[in-house]
Amino acid sequence: MTTDLLLAVAHHLFAFSLIAFLVAELVLLTASPERPVLRKLLFIDLCYGVAAVGSVVAGVSRLHWGDKPAEFYTGNPVFWIKMGLWVLVGLISIVPTIRYIIWIRRQELPSPAVFASTRRLVTLEVALFTGIPVFAAMMARGVGY
């Protein structure tokens, strides 16, 4: 039980950190696209990536070393909806990440239109991500079996 508990805590802390970093990006994307803001965006996005990797590692570890058998998760369609959302959020996050890197490396400020479209992408990430804990809670209560 101790291993499962520690993995669950790690998984939740990484997931909650991830959403906090996404919201921080969203807040910064309301500011003016100036160099200090762009550097902060890149740093926060790096933290977001670390939290995402940590969440995946903790989640996969729960599949292998947690109290519930892997089939509890993999045999549940709600789990796959949750994973689909996770992948979708991850794919969407590629565009803002690339933009932040380009803005910093080229030392150029984005146009207002590109900055606004990046904000819309991060807003979409936040909106989609909110479904992940909903499906996780459903799955934990046996919905889908």
Number of domains in the chain: 1
Question: What is the tens place of the pLDDT at every residue in 120-143?
Answer: 999 999 999 999 999 999 998 889
pTM of the shown model: 0.92
56 found inside a domain: yes
What does the angle CA 127 – CA 133 – CA 121 come to, to the nearest 5 degrees?
20
Is position 145 within any domain?
Answer: no
Burial of residue 88 (number of CB atoms within 10 Å: 0-12, 13-18, 19+): middle
Write the DSSP symbol of residue 108.
-
For 71-108, the pLDDT digits (tens) are: 989 999 999 999 999 999 999 999 999 999 999 999 98
pLDDT of residue 144: 87
Number of helices and strands in the chain (H, E): 6, 0
pLDDT tops 80 at residue 1: no
Q: What range defines the domain where residue 47 resides?
A: 2-140
Q: What are the CA-CA distances from residue 47 to residues 52, 73, 79, 141 (Å)? A: 9, 27, 25, 31
> In the 8-state DSSP scheme, what is residue 69?
-
Band (112; pLDDT cuts 50, 70, 90):
very high
Provide DSSP, 1-40: -HHHHHHHHHHHHHHHHHHHHHHHHHHHTTS---HHHHHH
Nearest-angstrom CA–CA distance, 47 and 40? 11
Alpha-carbon Rg for the chain, nearest whole angstrom, is 17
pLDDT tens for residues 21-67?
Answer: 999 999 999 999 999 999 999 999 999 999 999 999 999 999 999 99
Residue 12 covered by a domain = yes
pLDDT > 90? residue 15: yes
